[in-house]
Amino acid sequence: MTWLNNVLAVPTIGIEIEQNLKFLSDYSTIFAPLIQRVSERDGAADYGYEPLKNLSIRSSKGLGYSFTVNNLVVKFNYALSQQTNAGMLPIFDVHNNNKLYTDILQEILQELQVVIEMVSESKHTVSVKRIGVVASASLTLDSAPPGISELIKHLSSLWKKDLIKSETILTPLLLDTDSFQERCHHTLKFDFLSNPEAIDVVLDWQKVFKEPVDLVLSSGAISECKDKALEYFEKVAAGDF
């Protein structure tokens, strides 16, 4: 079981595509069945559309779909409820419904496969430049896995005193082949002056194609990317960079 199942973490899967204005102009038609599907399944959906710019769908269950000229993205956000008491600042509670990161990630993958099937039925040719799998986690010093703790200690060791604030992005190249590269953006954000315990971590694993590939033909590669990203996220947690 991945460490991400034990912390407040949300997944995203994104596909960067080559600009195709004809495809973009047909978004409202191509993805109309998706809007209906989300509404019937989740009971309600917010829908936004700007011609030749973007189409977005947000379900009442937290799933979000964002389609722009350059990206096809499916993500998840937890619902927040606000409690207000007289004379006090509002308190926000997260409703996670006991969902695990890996379960939500699999659900997102399935939704993205539905999106790709709709693109396939539209007969548009869409080329993929990169596939990204993201884990965004809100941690405390106690809940941070050893690899994250060691990374903070390593960065702190560059100075004679403690590192008390950071908004760092580290991007190592993980694999380089003739046809693609694998890399991961590691975003580490904390401000121990304002909150001595909180750490925000974003791991954005990516497969970048040196020559664009067909979206429909790359459908199987997205599932493989999900598995490879999870494998790498475990290495980060263990400090096995």
25-72: pLDDT as tens digits: 999 999 999 999 999 998 878 999 999 999 999 998 899 999 999 999
Does 127 have pLDDT greater than 50? yes
Token output for 125: 């040719």
Q: Please state the φ and ψ torsions of residue 185, each to the nearest 5 degrees.
A: -85, 125
**What pLDDT does 79 receive?**
63
pTM of the complete model: 0.91
**What pLDDT does 97 receive?**
57
In terms of Cα–Cα distance, which of 208, 209, 205, 197 is closest to 234? 205
Compute the distance between CA of residue 78 and CA of residue 58 in angstroms, rounded to an integer: 12
Does 89 have pLDDT greater than 70? no
**What pLDDT does 6 receive?**
94
Compute the distance between CA of residue 70 and CA of residue 17 in angstroms, rounded to an integer: 5
Mean pLDDT, all residues of the chain: 91
What secondary structure letter does DSSP report for 124?
-
Which residues, 6+ apart, have CB-to-CB distance to 141 below 8 Å? 149, 196, 197, 199
Spell 28-54 as b/e; 16+ CB within 10 A means b. Answer: eebbeebbebbeeeeeebebeeeeeeb
Tell me how many degrees the CA angle 105-78-150 measures, rounded to the nearest 5: 65
Domain segments of the chain: what residues? 3-238
Mean pLDDT, range 73-83, rounded to an integer: 74
pLDDT (tens digit per residue) in 177-222 = 999 999 999 999 999 999 999 999 999 999 999 999 999 988 889 9
Token output for 16: 């960067």
In terms of Cα–Cα distance, which of 103, 49, 43, 50 is closest to 76? 103
> For residues 162 and 101, which has the higher predicted lDDT (pLDDT)?
101
